[in-house]
Chain A
């Protein structure tokens, strides 16, 4: 089974250790939520996994081979990355931005194939941006732009998608829409690692949650277990209201806790 493995991955910016000996594996066919408070190292872990972050120690392997030894274009076809924030430096049309996701599939000087165009089209329809195709991407709202950039990542048709806060700037409709789409994508066999702050979306849609705090994995497993009251108190310093609606969980951060007080349940 194709897997993305981090082994003993450490990252430091100067003297500050951001990730400390993280060992974690991500398989295909699962939607994994990467959660944790601000500054926990979620973005750095994604960047380390995709190979754009220099490691202080450890290694990342894809399908058992160190990613540094793999052909970069092959890797780019199989693992797609959607960074946080979403920049586009030139005023390209939406369709042309999405088409950039096909670059790893095209040899130099090669024109887009029928397959390329179909993948671009399908990605635009899935993310609900097909109507915006001729618009200039720099004139879109933040949420629209994020969906266009997600479409760009999906157009690659990757085996594994790493998305950094893909729903943070979306309206409620599109938050649910995108999570449903990611869930469907993993249902078809691809893997996805998604950084999330919305705990209800994390609890409802993810097959597995990895909780990071201060550069370490402090929780890993089924959403119910990872989102325990103790974990929320210890990592997020919040207490939450939780319940079940139609058999699905919801969880709402309700009040913040005194950081200095010992969290309930020890630790």
Chain B
């Protein structure tokens, strides 16, 4: 028996080491892309100018560009990307379905609706921060609706159905707002905002959204072990000592806080929460708990990279970030559906 134990030890020593290397690689990629995001734009800033611009007290052009335009944009790409990757991985673990996405339980849709209502009522014109507040309120309403429909002790299937219902309802009301909009410019504004973008965001947006997102991350990161146990189904997870009601609540509220705050600032950036967990899952041996941290880092990498790419893709108006992620993500989604169908016979 001494030999098999030593085999087991080698297995477990290889695991965390490989995991550590991956975490480090993704972290390095985030730092590099973050700096690239500050350098890249219509006016290119060499790295040294960038450094002096960041440190300078005077309002040089470089300083203004970096601090007021590119720094908030880079911070939001990092944090919103991490949010989408993390929330996707957590939802997929909870629902045990690789096709689940933050939008699934209706949080993105309701956050968008909240922001659209802020547009529609003119509140956002009178008061700039009404837009993010509306998005966050919408996200919380989505959570309340999910709780009313699915309850604390409900099964995971009920949660999916409740999410679909909430999402459909939010979509219908958003379309209604577009339809009834008396002002064509407002309708245009809503339409473009819904496409999802990180351009022209300020440090105010960062200050409002990032703390709420961070709160959501903390809740989501506490669920790793329960998600591992859920691999063997709800009954086994309960028999292993996990209270599924609490796990569900932490994931739903954590997702609402983080995704609600993110959508309010960026509009709907789809598919990051789908693509990133799927690509990283084999590296953690398909353990949903281990996937959380990697997926958050991977989401930040993908979103930072995509947000740099959109600045180069068109000569005229900038390509919307949400459009780019949808163009990449939708075929990927189709591929996943086909794969899932095959594995389910």
Mark A residues whose CB is within 8 Å of B.
47, 50-52, 54, 72-77, 79-81, 83, 87-93, 95-97, 100-101, 103-104, 106, 108, 111-112, 117-118, 120-122, 124-125, 130, 133, 149, 152, 156
Alpha-carbon distance between A88 and B5 when the two chains are bound, in angstroms: 25
Please give the distance in Å from A154's CB to the nearest CB on chain B.
14
Is B233 within 8 A of A89, CB to CB? Answer: yes
Is A51 within 8 A of B285, CB to CB? Answer: no
Is A81 within 8 A of B232, CB to CB? Answer: no
In terms of DSSP, what is the predominant structure of the interface of chain B? Answer: helix
Task: Give the residues in chain B near A79, CB-CB below 8 Å.
Answer: 239
Task: Give the residues in chain B near A152, CB-CB below 8 Å.
Answer: 232
* Smallest CB gap from B11: residue in A: A95
Alpha-carbon distance between A101 and B237 when the two chains are bound, in angstroms: 10
Given A96-B287, A130-B4, A80 and B12 contact (CB-CB distance below 8 Å): no
Task: Give the residues in chain A near B243, CB-CB below 8 Å.
Answer: 72
Please give the distance in Å from B201's CB to the nearest CB on chain A.
35
Is A103 within 8 A of B4, CB to CB? Answer: no
Is A111 within 8 A of B16, CB to CB? Answer: yes
Task: Give the residues in chain B near A74, CB-CB below 8 Å.
Answer: 241
Q: Which of B12, B229, B240, B242 contacts A117 (CB 8 A)?
A: B12
* Smallest CB gap from A75: residue in B: B241
Please give the distance in Å from A166's CB to the nearest CB on chain B.
14
Q: Which of B1-17 contact A (CB under 8 A)?
A: 1, 4-5, 7-9, 11-12, 16
Task: Give the residues in chain B near A111, CB-CB below 8 Å.
Answer: 12, 16
Please give the distance in Å from A171's CB to the nearest CB on chain B.
23
Please give the distance in Å from A192's CB to the nearest CB on chain B.
15
In the complex, the number of residue pairs spanning A and B with C-beta atoms less than 8 Å apart equals 94
Task: Give the residues in chain B near A156, CB-CB below 8 Å.
Answer: 240
Chain B 2-46, CB within 8 Å of chain A: the 1/0 string?
A: 001101110110001000000000000000000000000000000
Chain B 240-257, CB within 8 Å of chain A: the 1/0 string?
A: 111100000000000000
Given A72-B241, A100-B240, A90 and B225 contact (CB-CB distance below 8 Å): no
Please give the distance in Å from B6's CB to the nearest CB on chain A.
10
Alpha-carbon distance between A74 and B242 when the two chains are bound, in angstroms: 11
29 CB < 8 A contacts A-B: A50-B235, A51-B238, A52-B235, A72-B242, A76-B241, A80-B239, A83-B233, A83-B236, A87-B232, A87-B233, A88-B231, A88-B232, A89-B230, A90-B96, A90-B231, A90-B281, A91-B286, A92-B231, A103-B241, A104-B241, A106-B225, A108-B225, A111-B12, A111-B16, A117-B5, A117-B8, A120-B8, A122-B1, A149-B232
**Residue B216, interface by CB 8 Å:** no
Alpha-carbon distance between A77 and B242 when the two chains are bound, in angstroms: 12
Task: Give the residues in chain B near A90, CB-CB below 8 Å.
Answer: 96, 231, 281, 286-288
Question: Which among B228, B230, B236 has the greatest number of chain A C-beta atoms within 10 A?
Answer: B236
* Smallest CB gap from B282: residue in A: A91
Is B239 within 8 A of A81, CB to CB? Answer: yes
Is A97 within 8 A of B232, CB to CB? Answer: yes
Question: Which among B235, B238, B243 has the greatest number of chain A C-beta atoms within 10 A?
Answer: B235
**Residue B57, interface by CB 8 Å:** no
Task: Give the residues in chain A near B153, CB-CB below 8 Å.
Answer: 54
Alpha-carbon distance between A88 and B230 when the two chains are bound, in angstroms: 9
Given A90-B96, A103-B225, A121-B1, A95 and B8 contact (CB-CB distance below 8 Å): yes
Q: Which of A97, A101, A104, A118 contacts B5 (CB 8 A)?
A: A118
Task: Give the residues in chain A near B230, CB-CB below 8 Å.
Answer: 89
Alpha-carbon distance between A130 and B3 when the two chains are bound, in angstroms: 12
Given A72-B243, A95-B11, A117-B8, A89 and B236 contact (CB-CB distance below 8 Å): no
* Smallest CB gap from A108: residue in B: B225
Is A100 within 8 A of B241, CB to CB? Answer: no
Task: Give the residues in chain A near B232, CB-CB below 8 Å.
Answer: 87-89, 97, 100, 149, 152
Is A92 within 8 A of B96, CB to CB? Answer: no
Extra contacts besides A51-B239, A92-B287, A104-B240 (20): CB < 8 Å: A47-B235, A52-B234, A76-B239, A76-B240, A80-B239, A89-B232, A90-B96, A90-B231, A90-B288, A91-B286, A96-B285, A97-B231, A100-B232, A101-B240, A103-B229, A121-B5, A125-B1, A133-B7, A149-B232, A152-B232
